[in-house]
Amino acid sequence: MPNLDKTHDPTLKCWVESANEPDCDFSIQNLPFGIYRHNNVGMQVGVAIGNSILDVDGAIEAEVLKVPDEVSTDFCLGSLNEIMEHEPSVRRTIRLAISELLREGNADLRDNTDLRKSLIIPIGQVEMELPAWIGDYTDFYASIYHATNVGKMFRPDNPLLPNYKNLPVGYHGRAGSIVVSGTSIVRPNGQTKADDADLPSFGPCRLLDYELEMGFFIGCGNAQGKRITMSEARDHIFGMCILNDWSARDIQKWEYQPLGPFNAKNFATSISPWIVTLDALEPFRVEQLQRGDDDPKLLEYITPTENMGYDIIVEVHISSKQMRDASTEPMRISKGNFTDMYWSIAQMLVHHTSTGCNMNPGDLLASGTISGTAEDSRGCLLERTWRGQNPISLPDGTERKFLQDGDEVIIKAFCEREGAARIGFGECRGIIEPAN
């Protein structure tokens, strides 16, 4: 059962009026953390509330926000890493203090006009940065529907490899090329080989794709040589964000054997700027996808000890340059749900550390492409157009098999259910620029 407290109360209202709108991503029940710049000041810790940001360090300095003494200085360091590494009980104390400050009945900041003006900053006036220093990044392949679809394209007689239902498959990505939402993505060059060619060639990627994913940040880590167990996993995860694992499919096809993804995925990974904490997601924690009757029995170390599925609705929208020039709304081409993942974030983390691999605060793990059973729930163009055989028609009259220069991919994610307040992750955006 979800562990709920008064921060989850769906009747709570905020004195920041925009936070009370029914379709608001950043309600008072959410309170996601991010890093921003404002008025040429260095990077600062903020909490999104409605269409604004609470300057957390400023609120602590002004003594309107009371947090434990041992964490008060962590908010002036321009990164979330130090906050992430605290135990869950400390993080929940911080969340409760912020919730109480922003509730409509609390006048401490609400009625101090000058202080409120300096500490509540419109999101449109800031520049968002990566929310943490990311030391390591690992991407998984946790959707059985995605793995099956891709397998059918290349191995129709044996779409799932023998190990898929026994362990969460993943690869080590490149942390240094992770960028925040809004950063342009330059089309990569690479070595490819056409099926009818004798030799490979080098040039711009022709089959550029997005991958709809969710990422999750490690909170308190584990020492090298000490693994994390399933019963401990939730306490080691700080929160989640939207993630787009940009993929060069033609480069990937030529290079992926025998060691898997390399240049096809190392050029860019985009993430949304706000980390929604696991505490905020607690009302939407559910049972994960059921394994089939014929699936192999899980080994004990990755057998679930509690529900670790999350009911998160995910959407992909595309906007061409022509559409933006004509002020045409982006077109939604995919809608899925994170409950369709075969492996949970707890299982991904536990398997990753099962060798004694050490995790550190701010390390980022990703789910892999989120796909469901319906055609419009497929989480990448490779699946959505079935290798380009079924192009998608856009409102500007053009078709898409894969991404073209000038295309903007917009990924959104949010949680809704009866009896709980809506919370969202914001957006993860990126425009494709021509190859150099």
Query: Is residue 8 annotated as a catalytic residue, yes or no?
Result: no
SS3 annotation, the chain: CCCCCHHHCCCCCECCHHHHCCCCCCCCCCCCEEEEECCCCCCEEEEEECCEEEEHHHHHHCCCCCCCCCCHHHHHCCCCHHHHCCCHHHHHHHHHHHHHHHECCCHHHHCCHHHHHHHEEEHHHCEEECCCCCCCEEEECCCHHHHHHHHHHHCCCCCCCCCCCCCCCEEECCHHHEEECCCCEECCEEEECCCCCCCCEEEECCCEECCEEEEEEECCCCCCCCCCCCCCHHHHEEEEEEEECCEEHHHHHHHCCCCCCCCCCCCCEEECCCEEECCCCHHHEECCCCCCCCCCCCCHHHCCCCCCEECCEEEEEEECHHHHHCCCCCEEEEEEEHHHCCCCHHHHHHHHHCCCCCCCCCCEEECCCCCCCCHHHCCCHHHHCCCCCCCEECCCCCEECCCCCCCEEEEEEEECCCCCCCEEEEEEEEEEECCC
Please identify which of the residues 8, 86, 146, 236 carries the catalytic annotation: 146
The set of catalytic residues is: 146
